[in-house]
Amino acid sequence: MSDIGDICEPARARRTGGRAARVAERAAPLAENLRPVRPGMPGGQYRPLTEAGIARIHAQALEALEVIGLSQAPPSGVEILTGAGAVQGDDGRIRFPRALVEDMLAKAARDITLHGREEKYDLHLSGSNVHFGTAGAAVHIVDPVTLDYRESTAQDLYDAARLVQNLDNVHFFQRAMVCRDVLDNYDMDVNTLYACLSGTSKHVGTSFSDPSHVAGCFELLHQVAGGEAAWRARPFVSNSNCFVVPPMKFAEESCIVMEDCVRRGMPVLLLSAGQAGATAPAPIALAIVQAMAECLAGVVYVNAIRPGAPAIFGTWPFVSDLRTGAMSGGSAEQALLTAGCAQMHRFYGLPGGAASGISDSKLPDMQAGWEQGITNVLAGLSGLNMCYEAVGMHASLLGFCLESLVMGDDILGQVLRCVRGIDVTEDSTSIEAMKAVCLGGPGHYLGSEQTLALMQTEYIYPSVGNRMSPKEWNEAGKPLLLDRAIARKNDILGKAGSMIDPQIDAAIRAAYNIHFR
């Protein structure tokens, strides 16, 4: 493909250093503040809810907490919540007076930072800053070449983490799949945590299947961090915690895990994942009401344990295809649900997260592309702080595809460019460049100094996406998108090693039953 700097011969003749020097200069990494897209850019341009709609959803959520409440709190949770001012009725349900919810909202942490093991990967969750990453609990790996689904392994999870470490537009790595080859539940929690940490130094999210597993996993965390004090200073793992089972029930064991994690200094994702038409109401607005009520109960819970503890308001309502009852993570309704939740997060001023980027398609095909593109762009434009499950996820959360993860990095680059929007400044609207071209100039902007100066800072380019002309594409052997994704995946995995110091890794492997290479 022609280099834009060589299209206009007169312009080229005026510059020095030659084509190779210019290409090398443009290929060099940009400073963080000059990159066209980067983590934490502010969104919020898209608002599906009116101000009146936001107020009504908030009022209905408060009423649901006061009138319906939540059932099945563990004894420790009953003690914590009633001690803070919640009321347990004769039916066992915990109800939340409005004043209690408002008091706890005032105490809740805002503008929190989710740390990476390297400071450059810190995620600053304030305002409408947007970050994209993985999540989920897929039980299969998708092979887009053989079209087969096989059980996911600890090695697959480690490989996915290594890919994320090297994909600029994927900002964090939350456990994306289940280690189906690890049969013991404690070993599974350990391998899940350690595979993530070994693969990436970006922020990691994980979960614990049993409260008794938390202590051993924190011993591993402290080893990686360099001690408990270092961990508490920069906690680089958050607990993805499904503390509720919609509709309006606490998940007892998850609540106990949450209590322990909060006390140990781990940020928690307060995750409510009702399915509209099944475990959440069918109306999109009422599904948001239920999600708000459940997560507000979580805000009270966490702040009754430790006021100001870092927590993410994790409203993840999903959608059902009402013809079958099956989940539909890639639908337009899902995109609207997520965007509406993001607006509510900003209304409360709380760091928020929700699902985006899930595909119902079984493979990384055109359906997956439109589903991931639409749901991610609406999430980003709505200013969602943490966009979970944004890449790699297929079959409505049942399958994860490494090649799709690589292609998803390109999708997220385009999404982030939409989030950034249009820079309107004195320089960007000056007509001096127009005068230079139109009044005695070459009659086009190809090769102009302004065009070349903005090539990297105003525009973003796909890594595997193909922009060749048909002639160039034919001459190149008609390369397919999947082939380019496979090549990039293999190139990254061929070079990416463990992010854990070898001595620490040896100590951990001696103490724990680690299943991946």
Please state the rounded mean pLDDT for residues 132-147: 97
Say what the pTM is. Answer: 0.93
As a whole number of angstroms, the distance between CA 47 and CA 378 comes to 9
Query: How sure is the predictor about 456, in pLDDT bands with cuts at 50, 70 and 90?
Result: confident
- State the CB neighbour count (10 A cutoff) for residue 264: 18
Cα–chain-centroid distance for residue 434?
41
Going along 197-278, which residue ranges are E strands? 203-206, 237-241, 268-272, 275-276
The answer to whether the beta carbons of residues 304 and 83 sit under 8 Å apart is yes
As a whole number of angstroms, the distance between CA 433 and CA 455 comes to 15
The confidence score (pLDDT) of residue 23 equals: 58
Please state the rounded mean pLDDT for residues 50-55: 98
* Domain assignment of residue 38, yes or no: no
The answer to whether the beta carbons of residues 86 and 100 sit under 8 Å apart is yes
The confidence score (pLDDT) of residue 32 equals: 79
**Token pair recorded at residue 408:** 């998803």
Q: Which domain holds residue 372?
A: 105-421+504-511
The confidence score (pLDDT) of residue 263 equals: 98
* Domain assignment of residue 326, yes or no: yes
The confidence score (pLDDT) of residue 13 equals: 41
At 327-372, the pLDDT tens digits run 999 999 999 999 999 999 999 999 999 999 999 999 999 999 999 9
Helix (H, G, I), strand (E, B) or coil at 85: coil
Asked if pLDDT for residue 18 goes beyond 80, the answer is no
**Number of structural domains found in the chain:** 1
Please state the rounded mean pLDDT for residues 459-488: 96
* Domain assignment of residue 241, yes or no: yes
The confidence score (pLDDT) of residue 450 equals: 87
Lowest mean pLDDT among 239-253, 438-452, 479-493: 438-452
* Domain assignment of residue 45, yes or no: no
Q: CATH code at 165?
A: 3.20.20.480
The confidence score (pLDDT) of residue 24 equals: 61
Query: How sure is the predictor about 505, in pLDDT bands with cuts at 50, 70 and 90?
Result: very high
At 200-256, the pLDDT tens digits run 999 999 999 999 999 999 999 999 999 999 999 999 999 999 999 999 999 999 999
The confidence score (pLDDT) of residue 47 equals: 97
At 178-193, the pLDDT tens digits run 999 999 999 999 999 9
The confidence score (pLDDT) of residue 22 equals: 60
The confidence score (pLDDT) of residue 449 equals: 87
**Token pair recorded at residue 220:** 């591993």
For the CA atoms of the chain, what is the radius of gyration? Answer: 24
* Domain assignment of residue 88, yes or no: no
* Domain assignment of residue 20, yes or no: no
Please state the rounded mean pLDDT for residues 397-412: 98
Q: 46-51, long-range: CB within 8 Å, 24+ apart, which pairs?
A: 46/339, 46/378, 46/381, 46/382, 47/343, 47/382, 48/336, 48/339, 48/340, 48/343, 48/382, 49/340, 49/343, 49/344
* Domain assignment of residue 55, yes or no: no
The confidence score (pLDDT) of residue 5 equals: 42
